Amino acid sequence: MSAGPRSVVVVGGGSVAWIAALALRRTFRHLPLDVTVLDTGPDATGPRVHWTLPSQRGAHAQLGVGEGEFLRATGATFRLASEHTGWQGGERRYVHAHGEIGTPIDVTPFYKWIVERTLAGKTERAEDWSIAALAARNGRFAQPMGAEKELTASFTYGFHVDERAYATFLRSAADRGGVRRIVGTLADVQRAADGRVETLRLADGGQVSADFFVDASGAGALLMSRVDDTPRLDWRRWFPCDRAIAGLAPGEVDPAAMTRTLAGDNGWSWRVPLMGATAVGGYHASAFGGDDALRAGLERVAPGLRDVAVVPVTAGRRQKFWVNNCVALGAAAVELEPLAGAHLHLAQLGLAAFMELFPLDSHPAAEAAEYDAQMAAYADRLRDFTLAHYRAGPRRPGAFWDAVHAEPLPDSLAAKLDPWRASGRLTIADFETFEETDWAWLLIGAGDRPQALELRVADEVRKLLPVEAESLRQTIARLASSMPRHGDFLRRLHAR
Amino acid sequence: MNSAPPLRLVIVGGGTAGWMTAAAFAATLRPDQCEVRLIESSEIGIVGVGEATLPHIRFFNRRIGIDERELMAHTHATFKLGIEFVNWARLGDSYIHPFGAYGTRAGGVSFHNFWLRRRRAGDTTPIEDYSLPIVASRRNRFSLPSEDTTSLSSTFGYAFQFDASLYAQYLRGFAEQRGVKRTDAKVVDVALRGEDGFIESIKLDSGETVAGDLFIDCSGFRGLLIEQALKTGYDEWTRWLPCDRAVAMPCENAGPLTPYTRATAREAGWQWRIPLQHRTGNGYVYSSKFISDDEAGAKLSSRLDGKALADPRFLRFTAGRRRKTWNRNCVAIGLAGGFLEPLESTSIHLIQVAITTLIDYVTPGRAFDPRTVEAFNRWIEMEYDRVRDFLILHYHATERDDAPLWNYCRTMDIPDSLKHKMELFRRRAQVVQYKDGLFLEPSWLAVYFGQRVMPDGYDPRADATPRPDLDGWMTTMRDRIDTAVNQMPDHETFLAQYCPSGARA
* A30/B34 Cβ within 8 A: no
Does A493 reside within a domain? Answer: no
CA distance B288 to chain A (A): 37
Dihedral (CA of A366, A370, A371, A376) sign: positive
DSSP-derived secondary structure for A202-240 = ETTS-EEE-SEEEE-S-TT-TTHHHH--SPPEE-TTT--
* B361/A455 Cβ within 8 A: no
Does A489 reside within a domain? Answer: no
Contacts of A229 (CB under 8 A, 6+ apart): none
ipTM of the complex as predicted: 0.91
Cα-flanking dihedrals φ and ψ of residue A397, to 5°? -75, 165
Q: What residues of A are in contact with residue B386 (Cβ under 8 Å)?
A: none
Does A58 reside within a domain? Answer: yes
Residue of A455, A457, A460 best to disrupt the B interface, most CBs of B under 10 A: A455
Return the active site residues of B. 80
Q: Treating both helix axes as pointing N-terminal to C-terminal, what angle do B57-64 and B15-28 enclose, rounded to 10 degrees?
A: 40
Q: What residues of A are in contact with residue B435 (Cβ under 8 Å)?
A: 428, 430
Please check whether residues A205 and A94 belong to one and the same domain.
no
Beta-sheet pairing, B214-217 with B330-332: parallel
Q: What residues of B are in contact with residue A451 (Cβ under 8 Å)?
A: 363, 366
* A427/B375 Cβ within 8 A: yes
Please check whether residues A291 and A142 belong to one and the same domain.
no
Please check whether residues A301 and A252 belong to one and the same domain.
yes
* pLDDT tens-place string over residues A98-137: 999 999 998 899 999 999 999 999 999 999 999 999 999 9
* A423/B29 Cβ within 8 A: no
- Cα A322 from Cα B228, distance rounded (Å): 49
Burial of B481 (0-12, 13-18, 19+ CB in 10 A): buried
Please check whether residues A230 and A286 belong to one and the same domain.
no
* A459/B361 Cβ within 8 A: no
* Residues found in chain B: 505
Chain A contacts in chain B segment 431-470 (CB below 8 A): 432, 434-436, 456-457, 459-461, 463-464
Does A495 reside within a domain? Answer: no
- Point out the residue among B28, B364, B379 whose CB comes nearest to the CB of A452: B364
* pLDDT tens-place string over residues A352-400: 999 999 999 999 999 999 999 999 999 999 999 999 999 999 999 999 9
- B489 pLDDT exceeds 90? yes
DSSP-derived secondary structure for A122-185 = ----GGGG-HHHHHHHTTB-----SSTTSGGGSB--EEEEEHHHHHHHHHHHHHHTT-EEEE--
Q: Where among A312, A328, A345 does a domain terminate?
A: A312
Please check whether residues A393 and A474 belong to one and the same domain.
yes
Does A376 reside within a domain? Answer: no
* pLDDT tens-place string over residues B247-269: 999 999 998 999 999 999 999 99
CA distance B363 to chain A (A): 5
Q: What is the CATH number of the domain that holds A52?
A: 3.50.50.60
Q: Which of B259, B50, B57 is nearest to B144 (CA)?
A: B259
Please check whether residues A399 and A437 belong to one and the same domain.
yes
- Point out the residue among B363, B424, B459 whose CB comes nearest to the CB of A453: B363
Q: Is residue B1 very low, low, confident or very high in pLDDT (cuts 50, 70, 90)?
A: very low
Does A352 reside within a domain? Answer: yes
Q: What residues of A are in contact with residue B28 (Cβ under 8 Å)?
A: 456
Contacts of B266 (CB under 8 A, 6+ apart): B87, B284, B286, B299
Q: Is the Cβ of A367 closer than 8 Å to some Cβ of chain B? A: yes
CA distance A415 to chain B (A): 7
Please check whether residues A71 and A167 belong to one and the same domain.
yes
Range of the structural domain that residue A472 is part of: 82-155+383-481
Question: How far is residue B380 CA from its own chain's centroid?
Answer: 14
CB pairs under 8 A between A and B: 104
DSSP B461: G
Please check whether residues A72 and A102 belong to one and the same domain.
no
Please check whether residues A467 and A403 belong to one and the same domain.
yes
- Point out the residue among B362, B428, B435 whose CB comes nearest to the CB of A430: B435
- Cα B303 from Cα B271, distance rounded (Å): 9
Please check whether residues A342 and A459 belong to one and the same domain.
no
What pLDDT is attached to residue B503? Answer: 62
Beta-sheet pairing, B199-204 with B187-192: antiparallel
Please check whether residues A297 and A258 belong to one and the same domain.
yes
Chain B contacts in chain A segment 320-359 (CB below 8 A): 355-358
HSE-up of B285 (CA within 13 Å, CB side)? Answer: 23
Cβ neighbour number for residue B5 with a 10 Å cutoff: 11
Please check whether residues A189 and A289 belong to one and the same domain.
no
Residue in B with minimal Cα distance to A119: B1
Q: Which amino acid is at A366?
A: A
Q: Is the Cβ of A28 closer than 8 Å to some Cβ of chain B? A: yes
Say what the pTM is: 0.93
What pLDDT is attached to residue B505? Answer: 44
Q: What residues of B are in contact with residue A106 (Cβ under 8 Å)?
A: none
- Point out the residue among A1, A355, A455 whose CB comes nearest to the CB of B463: A1
Domain total in chain A: 3
Residue in A with minimal Cα distance to B29: A456
* B420/A369 Cβ within 8 A: yes
Residue in B with minimal Cα distance to A5: B460
- Point out the residue among A415, A451, A456 whose CB comes nearest to the CB of B378: A415
Contacts of A357 (CB under 8 A, 6+ apart): A364, A367, A370, A371, B428, B430
Cα-flanking dihedrals φ and ψ of residue B116, to 5°? -65, -35
Question: How far is residue A350 CA from its own chain's centroid?
Answer: 13
Q: Is residue B433 very low, low, confident or very high in pLDDT (cuts 50, 70, 90)?
A: confident
Does A66 reside within a domain? Answer: yes
Does A26 reside within a domain? Answer: yes
Q: What residues of A are in contact with residue B64 (Cβ under 8 Å)?
A: none
Q: Which of A483, A490, A485 is nearest to A151 (CA)?
A: A483
* B435/A366 Cβ within 8 A: no
Helix (H, G, I), strand (E, B) or coil at A292: helix
Q: What residues of A are in contact with residue B359 (Cβ under 8 Å)?
A: 456
Q: Is the Cβ of A211 closer than 8 Å to some Cβ of chain B? A: no
- Cα A466 from Cα A484, distance rounded (Å): 30
pLDDT digit of tens for each residue in chain A (496 aa)?
468 999 999 999 999 999 999 999 999 999 999 999 999 998 888 899 999 999 999 999 999 999 999 999 999 999 999 999 999 998 899 999 999 999 999 889 999 999 999 999 999 999 999 999 999 999 999 999 988 889 999 999 999 999 999 999 999 999 999 999 999 999 999 999 999 999 999 999 999 999 999 999 999 999 999 999 999 999 999 999 999 999 999 999 899 999 999 999 999 999 999 999 999 999 999 999 888 888 888 888 888 899 999 999 999 999 999 999 999 999 999 999 999 999 999 999 999 999 999 999 999 999 999 999 999 999 999 999 999 999 999 999 999 999 999 999 998 999 899 889 888 889 888 899 999 999 999 999 999 999 888 877 888 899 999 999 999 999 999 999 999 999 999 999 988 7
Q: Is residue B47 very low, low, confident or very high in pLDDT (cuts 50, 70, 90)?
A: low
